[in-house]
A and B are shown apart, each in its own frame.
Chain A
């Protein structure tokens, strides 16, 4: 807010009284010192460096503290810069003052207020904030009117007669209701039921707003204890963040120019970051100071995209159909047409001597699906209609699941429940079966309308999304919530981390991204080939920014998830299809692919260390071999690998 000239002294005294002593007293400069002032275009002397004029007795338009005063600088116009930019100087300065205060630069904030002539907010506002945080409810209600939240002829009525489409007359009542509600909940929490009831009857009810909420609040009287209350009210109590949250709610009723929303500058900077993030096509770095500097626009380096093969795992003797990373990202499990599954150890990126830790051999049919338990101690494998449980520490098969209750046809998908309490399997016999963590049959969905080819559980445990031949099906607590009839066969489904999107491959060269909330198709990804085979895709990168898919043309395809733009077509695998892809869950710069060429490839950013050459050696334990290489010295990968494909 702008302070009229005549009010300036009092406004300053208010803001400075609440602040510690202004002035860099520790500097102790006593004389005129170096010439640290300069003259700006307006002909004012701007004290710099120390920021204060030395010597006592300088009293004028400025603030005086410890004998040092700050002169108000008068500037022309209202813009921050005079070049036609639309950033309002007063708004900018007030946000800076707010930020300075937030981090504790109280003196600097006071100095800026003095020098600019702007105050962050009127004393009434900070007082109001204080009332809420200290639970001085009646003071807070009184203060509301002083802040212009009113339904009678109040101070600033004409200034903000209405905000949005809500007539102002209701606003005071509503704001009061929120304050009363907090008061009521805190009384209930403290066990003062009688007082709480009084608030409900005498303060909340007469406001005549939000009848449903009133009903809900009175129901909370029945809560057995404070914990129960907090849970049912979804409210974290007097000692939690609830008062701050109340302030955020009340903010809506006070014009932002009077009570600046909390951390407003930071909010704007975060919006800038988020905008830059969306513009960053190859985005794959965390939101930290290294990747996001305020000094320059964020842009991820395309060169660090994991588009280079850094290892080839070559132990399977037939097509590799599926791969899954352990949750800790240290192991990769692969499923092959050769009737084995292999657990690969991939936990030391500096060595890249990836070995087949265990070859799991007991299946009599090709292995098609895999699932690691949440603690990675158990691996499930599915081959034809058989499900096996393996101890991943010993490589021993600990259980063949009950075939009596199990699937009659091929098990196509296995997925652990996000809470670890068990897992579900889906099969071409149209059944979805729930098993406990020990592998005991628990329940069956009965016949679904589809032959299930893949399924996934949303991380928030609200949905099972099953895809199959003829339909994509969405099952919530065994009730079909949504179903999308689609032409062709659907071969793969993955769920985004936020439980919102389902990524589905179908046998028409198409990958669909479904919005599970709206039930609509959000995006299509095109370019890869999928005709009659089971091809899988996945989300990848630090925040699911990438979509990766195998393809029948032997390439790996990578798109930007938000836009559907095809970013990379990665060659390397040999003859046949790239069947599945899996992004490392703990290393955002690594993913794996598996192919009909019998191999698995690990993809990373080009290795920077020099000296490591392309090699082809067997691991010492004889269980497996890997090929490693680096392009540190410019080895041409495609040609180097092409010769090895059938090796």
Chain B
């Protein structure tokens, strides 16, 4: 590992962890608002920073089977959503390598 500082994002709209305000993603990397998570509406992002990825597990979703990892805030460890490692359905493969963040766990930060 080694010492790293949390990454600070630049941009007009920055989403952070609702609990500790750690920067997570910008609106520019948002791919879709049409997702649902455990706490309601969720967003799909191209890239997310300052997260810790959990172990991969296979999960049945409404769009089919996926290999996903839980992602949590690197500062406060709140689980914020998940990352898609693999989509078994060919039509869903655009999500591979992308991240889901739950809207209710996010807050606008600067």
The interface size of chain A toward B, counting residues with CB under 8 Å, comes to: 23
Interface positions of B from 8 to 34, Cβ below 8 Å from A = 8
Q: Check A533–B8 contact: CB distance below 8 A.
A: no
Chain A residues whose CB sits within 8 angstroms of the CB of B2 once the complex forms: 319, 532-535, 552, 576-577, 579, 596
Cβ of A337 within 8 Å of any chain B Cβ, yes or no, is yes
Q: Check A319–B3 contact: CB distance below 8 A.
A: yes
Min distance, Cβ B20 to any Cβ of chain A, angstroms: 9
Cβ of B6 within 8 Å of any chain A Cβ, yes or no, is yes
Q: Check B8–A469 contact: CB distance below 8 A.
A: yes
A-B contact pairs, 27 of them (CB 8 A): A319-B2, A319-B3, A322-B3, A337-B1, A337-B3, A368-B3, A409-B8, A410-B5, A410-B6, A428-B8, A451-B5, A453-B5, A469-B5, A469-B8, A532-B2, A533-B1, A533-B4, A534-B2, A534-B3, A534-B5, A535-B2, A552-B2, A576-B1, A576-B2, A577-B2, A579-B2, A579-B3
Complex partner residue of B3 from A321, A384, A428, CB under 8 angstroms:
A321
Cβ of A106 within 8 Å of any chain B Cβ, yes or no, is no
Cβ of A412 within 8 Å of any chain B Cβ, yes or no, is yes
Q: Check A596–B5 contact: CB distance below 8 A.
A: no
Residue of B nearest to A321 (CB): B3
Q: Check B4–A451 contact: CB distance below 8 A.
A: no
Interface size class of B (residues with CB under 8 A): under 10
Q: Check A319–B5 contact: CB distance below 8 A.
A: no
Residue of A nearest to B22 (CB): A409
Chain B residues whose CB sits within 8 angstroms of the CB of A535 once the complex forms: 2
Chain A residues whose CB sits within 8 angstroms of the CB of B6 once the complex forms: 409-410, 428
Interface of B is mostly: loop
Residue of B nearest to A365 (CB): B75
Residue of A nearest to B23 (CB): A409
Interface positions of A from 285 to 310, Cβ below 8 Å from B = none
Residue of A nearest to B6 (CB): A410
Min distance, Cβ B5 to any Cβ of chain A, angstroms: 6
Chain B residues whose CB sits within 8 angstroms of the CB of A319 once the complex forms: 1-3
Q: Check A428–B5 contact: CB distance below 8 A.
A: yes
Q: How far is the CA of A261 from the CA of B4 in the complex (A)?
A: 57
Q: How far is the CA of A623 from the CA of B8 in the complex (A)?
A: 38
Pairs A-B, 10 closest by C-beta atoms: A533-B2, A577-B2, A534-B3, A321-B3, A579-B3, A596-B2, A533-B3, A451-B8, A533-B4, A596-B1
Chain A residues whose CB sits within 8 angstroms of the CB of B4 once the complex forms: 532-534
Q: How far is the CA of A576 from the CA of B2 in the complex (A)?
A: 7
Q: How far is the CA of A322 from the CA of B1 in the complex (A)?
A: 14
Residue of A nearest to B8 (CB): A451
Q: How far is the CA of A451 from the CA of B23 in the complex (A)?
A: 14
Q: How far is the CA of A526 from the CA of B1 in the complex (A)?
A: 22
Q: Check A412–B5 contact: CB distance below 8 A.
A: yes
Residue of B nearest to A469 (CB): B8
Min distance, Cβ B107 to any Cβ of chain A, angstroms: 14
Chain A residues whose CB sits within 8 angstroms of the CB of B5 once the complex forms: 410, 412, 428, 451, 453, 469, 534
Q: Write the A174-196 contact mask toward B (1 if CB under 8 angstroms, else 0).
A: 00000000000000000000000
Q: How far is the CA of A28 from the CA of B50 in the complex (A)?
A: 92
Residue of B nearest to A320 (CB): B3
Task: Point out which of B3, B4, B8, B75 has the most chain A C-beta atoms below 10 A from its C-beta.
Answer: B3
Chain A residues whose CB sits within 8 angstroms of the CB of B3 once the complex forms: 319, 321-322, 337, 368, 533-534, 577, 579
Min distance, Cβ A445 to any Cβ of chain B, angstroms: 18
Residue of B nearest to A531 (CB): B2
Residue of B nearest to A550 (CB): B2
Min distance, Cβ A557 to any Cβ of chain B, angstroms: 16
Min distance, Cβ B34 to any Cβ of chain A, angstroms: 33
Chain B residues whose CB sits within 8 angstroms of the CB of A552 once the complex forms: 2
Q: How far is the CA of A577 from the CA of B5 in the complex (A)?
A: 15
Residue of B nearest to A595 (CB): B2
Q: How far is the CA of A533 from the CA of B3 in the complex (A)?
A: 5
Q: Write the A575-599 contact mask toward B (1 if CB under 8 angstroms, else 0).
A: 0110100000000000000001000
Interface positions of A from 94 to 130, Cβ below 8 Å from B = none
Chain B residues whose CB sits within 8 angstroms of the CB of A577 once the complex forms: 2-3
Q: How far is the CA of A322 from the CA of B5 in the complex (A)?
A: 13
Min distance, Cβ A419 to any Cβ of chain B, angstroms: 30
Chain B residues whose CB sits within 8 angstroms of the CB of A532 once the complex forms: 2, 4
Min distance, Cβ A65 to any Cβ of chain B, angstroms: 78
Q: How far is the CA of A428 from the CA of B110 in the complex (A)?
A: 12
Q: Write the A318-357 contact mask toward B (1 if CB under 8 angstroms, else 0).
A: 0101100000000000000100000000000000000000
Chain B residues whose CB sits within 8 angstroms of the CB of A428 once the complex forms: 5-6, 8
Q: How far is the CA of A533 from the CA of B4 in the complex (A)?
A: 5
- Beyond A319-B1, A579-B3: 7 further Cβ-contacts under 8 Å? A337-B1, A412-B5, A428-B8, A469-B8, A532-B2, A533-B1, A534-B2
Chain B residues whose CB sits within 8 angstroms of the CB of A453 once the complex forms: 5
Min distance, Cβ A532 to any Cβ of chain B, angstroms: 6
Q: How far is the CA of A431 from the CA of B4 in the complex (A)?
A: 19
Chain B residues whose CB sits within 8 angstroms of the CB of A410 once the complex forms: 5-6
Chain B residues whose CB sits within 8 angstroms of the CB of A412 once the complex forms: 5
Q: How far is the CA of A321 from the CA of B4 in the complex (A)?
A: 10
Min distance, Cβ A106 to any Cβ of chain B, angstroms: 66
Q: Write the B72-96 contact mask toward A (1 if CB under 8 angstroms, else 0).
A: 0001000000000000000000000
Q: How far is the CA of A428 from the CA of B5 in the complex (A)?
A: 9
Chain B residues whose CB sits within 8 angstroms of the CB of A321 once the complex forms: 3
Q: How far is the CA of A337 from the CA of B2 in the complex (A)?
A: 9
Chain A residues whose CB sits within 8 angstroms of the CB of B8 once the complex forms: 409, 428, 451, 469
Q: Write the A520-548 contact mask toward B (1 if CB under 8 angstroms, else 0).
A: 00000000000011110000000000000
Chain B residues whose CB sits within 8 angstroms of the CB of A451 once the complex forms: 5, 8
Min distance, Cβ B101 to any Cβ of chain A, angstroms: 20
